[in-house]
Amino acid sequence: MSRPTILGYARPDGKVGIRNHLLVMSTVVCSSFVARRIADQVQGAVAIENPFGCGQLEPDLEVTRRTLIGMAKNPNVGGVLVVGLGCEQIQADDLVKEIEKTGKPVEKVVVQEVDGGTPAAIEKGVTLLRRMAEDVLSQKPEEVDVSNLVMGVECGGSDATSGLASNPVVGYASDKLIDLGGTVILSETPEMIGAEEILARRAVSREVGDRIIRVVRKWVDLAASHGVDLVGTQPAPGNIAGGISTIEEKSLGAIIKGGSRAIQGVVDYAEEVKGKGLWIMDTPGYDIMSVVGMVAGGATLVVFTTGRGTPTGNPIAPVIKVTANPFTAKKMRENMDFDASTVTLGQETIEQAGEKLFKLIMDVARGKPTRAELLGFREFVIHKIIPSF
Amino acid sequence: MGTPAIVLNPSDNVAIALRDLKQNESVELIIGNSKLPIKLLNDIPFGHKFAIKGIRMCDYVIKYGHVIGRAKRNIGIGEHVHVHNVESLTAVHSVCKGGKP
């Protein structure tokens, strides 16, 4: 059988995207409105409204900075306009310097440096971005090998059908992509609690296995420091009523969406994955934060399972919504991309539904828009590790 | 109507009910290319597990091809597998301490 190909945008740094966005990114919440106004006026542009960028302690600031740079470096982005205020902690120049390393076009506008305030800054930004758009939007995608795809897997609004059907179906597609030489990112480390030893046994080395156990247990300790017991209270009464007997079973129901292949390594939130195969990213279980972390870490496509039906997307990565709940598949049909309820109803096997999902993933990687893209969902939240000061 | 229960991995010793199943009901499971008939010893609600192999006390319960816990007592084929007869490997008051890990 011939290998599948996807339609990719080859970037100067050798990475390949499946979308071609112009990114308008604010360094701080104070310049977010200006960023949005600029993006609204240029075709192909999307704004990232950074809610932080000031009043942060350095380790927390570093997470924000890494996330912004990661979003800009993501190969789904063809060109970047950085919009700063001027007096904030995250300086536009520092971001520009980092993003320039990719060889992509990068420009900046700093509101306090423009004569006239925000209206003049918006005008300047629109002019710069239009010029950039002429070049970036002229780029045509090419047939490239499927191994260029970096897929993040996520679940949110879960119910009993998530662990039963949608996550195993996504797991099938994850294994298939990895076997074809692609990359999969599995995140939400707090949801791995109880299954960390199982995951550690799948690590390529002792060192990686130890790190898996460390990053998972860190969340147990963090919750405990706030007086919350994450282990003893799991599975929750609702889970038990739904048929989940142990914390291992609950965690495995989430983890299975990453498939069953060897775990190559663990990266921090929004840190770039360092090779092909299956990777773990240490992120919160909060789905939007987790998706943003994976996209900042290089995911060019996200597959997102949901039982209850969540509509969320991402500013630069297509998010494929999968549900195995027959009621959600019907009620939330305008938001769902893939109906895996055939497995829940016993009409299809995980393999059969998994093959169909993989074909949809290939279609989306060849330009087919997802429902979240069509409906304009672009949620963006950054993980925070220390309160603002 | 489709198959009444699903086995998520060929190495599993439990199946998951895809609808509310009744005691004494006979179900036919599809595992790979083979079929496995099971007579249910209890009512099994949607999403709950039942044993498709005999599981002895302190043996592993396997789902997704992974260990999800340990049997707290012997579990017969077709029996409901849940909190009354399964414990987490992290269980503080394990009935299997000193027994088979």
Residue A3 forms part of a structural domain: no
| CATH number of the CATH domain containing B43 | 2.30.130.110
Domain co-membership, A134 together with A248: no
Neighbours of A131 (CB within 10 A): 14
Residue B47 forms part of a structural domain: yes
Domain co-membership, A101 together with A160: no
Residue A322 forms part of a structural domain: yes
Domain co-membership, A34 together with A130: yes
Residue B59 forms part of a structural domain: yes
| CATH number of the CATH domain containing A64 | 3.40.50
Per-residue pLDDT at A1: 61
Residue-wise pLDDT tens digits, A1-38: 689 999 999 999 999 999 999 999 999 999 999 999 99
Nearest CA in chain A to B5: A346
Residue A12 forms part of a structural domain: no
Taking each helix axis as running N to C, give the angle between helix A92-100 and helix A58-73, from 0 to 180 degrees, rounded to the nearest 10: 40
Q: How far is A259 from chain B (nearest CA, A)?
A: 10
Per-residue pLDDT at B99: 47
A64 in Cβ contact with A48 (< 8 Å): no
Domain co-membership, A149 together with A280: yes
Domain co-membership, A165 together with A264: yes
| Tokens (6 digits) for B14 | 């439990």
pTM for the predicted model, two decimal places? 0.96
- CA nearest A246: which of A302, A198, A294? A198
Residue A343 forms part of a structural domain: yes
Q: Rounded mean pLDDT of A186-214?
A: 96
Per-residue pLDDT at B98: 52
Q: Do A248 and B68 touch (CB under 8 A)?
A: yes
Q: How far is A5 from chain B (nearest CA, A)?
A: 29
Q: How far is A347 from chain B (nearest CA, A)?
A: 5
Residue-wise pLDDT tens digits, A36-53: 999 999 999 999 999 999
Residue A388 forms part of a structural domain: no
Per-residue pLDDT at A339: 98
Last residue of a domain, one of A138, A156, A182: A138
Domain with A267 in it? 144-375
Q: Do A245 and B3 touch (CB under 8 A)?
A: no
Residue-wise pLDDT tens digits, A221-253: 999 999 999 888 889 998 999 999 999 999 999
Per-residue pLDDT at B93: 81
- CA nearest A210: which of A143, A280, A269? A280
Per-residue pLDDT at B101: 43
Domain co-membership, A150 together with A273: yes
Query: Which residues make Cβ contacts (< 8 Å) with residue A58, sequence separation at least 6?
Result: none
Q: Rounded mean pLDDT of A98-119?
A: 98
Last residue of a domain, one of A138, A156, A188: A138
Query: How many structural domains is chain B composed of?
Result: 1
Residue A227 near chain B (CB below 8 Å): no
Query: Which single residue is written with the structure tokens 């440096």?
Result: A113
Q: Do B16 and A350 touch (CB under 8 A)?
A: no
Q: Do A346 and B66 touch (CB under 8 A)?
A: no
Residue A11 forms part of a structural domain: no
Domain co-membership, A87 together with A182: no
Domain co-membership, A241 together with A354: yes
Domain co-membership, A157 together with A172: yes
Mean pLDDT (10-residue bins), chain B, 101 residues:
90 96 95 91 97 97 95 98 94 71 43
| Tokens (6 digits) for B16 | 């998951």
Domain co-membership, A106 together with A149: no
Residue A243 near chain B (CB below 8 Å): yes
Per-residue pLDDT at A231: 87
Q: How far is B42 from chain A (nearest CA, A)?
A: 14
Query: How many structural domains is chain A composed of?
Result: 2
Q: How far is B40 from chain A (nearest CA, A)?
A: 16
Per-residue pLDDT at A269: 98
Interface test with A, best of B88, B92, B93, B94 (most A CBs within 10 A): B88
Cα distances (angstroms) measured from residue A162 to each of A244, A286, B80, B84: 12, 16, 21, 23
Domain co-membership, A133 together with A196: no
Q: Do B2 and A347 touch (CB under 8 A)?
A: yes
Residue B92 forms part of a structural domain: no
Domain co-membership, A209 together with A257: yes
Q: Supply the mean pLDDT for chain A.
A: 97
Within 8 A of B95 by CB-CB distance, chain A residues are none
Q: Rounded mean pLDDT of A157-171?
A: 95
Q: What is the CA radius of gyration of chain B?
A: 13
Residue B29 forms part of a structural domain: yes
Residue A16 forms part of a structural domain: no
Domain with B31 in it? 5-87
Last residue of a domain, one of A92, A114, A138: A138
Residue A107 near chain B (CB below 8 Å): no
A162 in Cβ contact with A253 (< 8 Å): yes
